[in-house]
Structure formats: C-alpha cells, structure tokens
C-alpha cells in the first residue's frame, strides 16, 4: 500500500516537473521572439520614403517580416516629415502551435 502511494506521489511530481520544464522552454522562445521584434523595430527607426517590405528567417526557425505604409496625418505640409506606420511580425512553431508577436509603431520616412 505504501509503495502504491509513493508511486502515485512520484508520478505527480514527475508530471509537475515536466510541465515546468515545458513552460520554461515556451517562455524562452517567447522572450527571444520579443527581443527579435524589438531589434527589427529599432533597426528600422527611419525608413525610405518609398517604404519597406522585407522578410527573413533565423537559424532557430523564427520567421519575421517588416512592412511599412504611409501614415495618414490630420494636417500635412511640405516641411513636415513623411511618417510611416510600421508593423513587425515574428512567428515560430512551438510544438504543434504557431506563436506570433506583432509590434506596431510610427517611424519617420527619409529621402535617400
């Protein structure tokens, strides 16, 4: 009887430890995805006035894209900088699930 109780307790402990390990792995991938997205956003703090539409993939299997489009402003003048809405997407597979991070911002466009 005592061995059965011990086996059940050890089984529950093993499942809890396995779940915690999976959660750490998921959190590490999510943190990497967030940092990749933030890095791509920082790399594109200024974009050509014509815009940007680029994609890529890391060696770890993270797909990313950076796209911009002109932002609509309430007032415009020739002296005002051209603003672009920027969207950064980072996708990856985690087991059978597809995970995604999307960052949106506004950046200044420049004439090269």
Give me the domain span that covers residue 104: 2-110
Q: Helix or strand or coil: residue 80? A: coil
Grade residue 11 by pLDDT with cuts at 50, 70 and 90: confident
C-alpha to C-alpha distance for 17 and 10, rounded to whole angstroms: 10
**25-83 per-position pLDDT tens digit:** 788 999 999 999 999 999 999 899 889 999 999 999 999 999 999 987 655 556 566 89
Grade residue 15 by pLDDT with cuts at 50, 70 and 90: confident
Number of domains in the chain: 1
Residue 22 pLDDT exceeds 70: no
The pLDDT value given to residue 110: 82
Residue 5 pLDDT exceeds 80: no
Helix (H) or strand (E) holding 85: strand 82-94
Q: Is the Cα dihedral 27, 30, 35, 38 positive or negative?
A: negative
């Amino acid at each position: 009887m005592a061995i059965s109780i011990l086996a059940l307790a050890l089984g529950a402990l093993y499942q809890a430890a396995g779940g915690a390990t999976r959660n750490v792995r998921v959190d590490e991938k999510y943190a990497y995805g967030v940092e990749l997205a933030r890095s791509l956003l920082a790399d594109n703090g200024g974009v050509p006035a014509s815009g940007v539409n680029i994609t890529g993939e890391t060696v770890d299997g993270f797909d990313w894209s950076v796209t911009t489009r002109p932002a609509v402003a309430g007032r415009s003048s020739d002296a005002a900088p051209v603003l672009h809405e920027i969207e950064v997407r980072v996708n990856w597979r985690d087991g059978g699930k597809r995970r995604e991070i999307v960052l949106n911002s506004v950046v200044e466009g420049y004439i090269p």
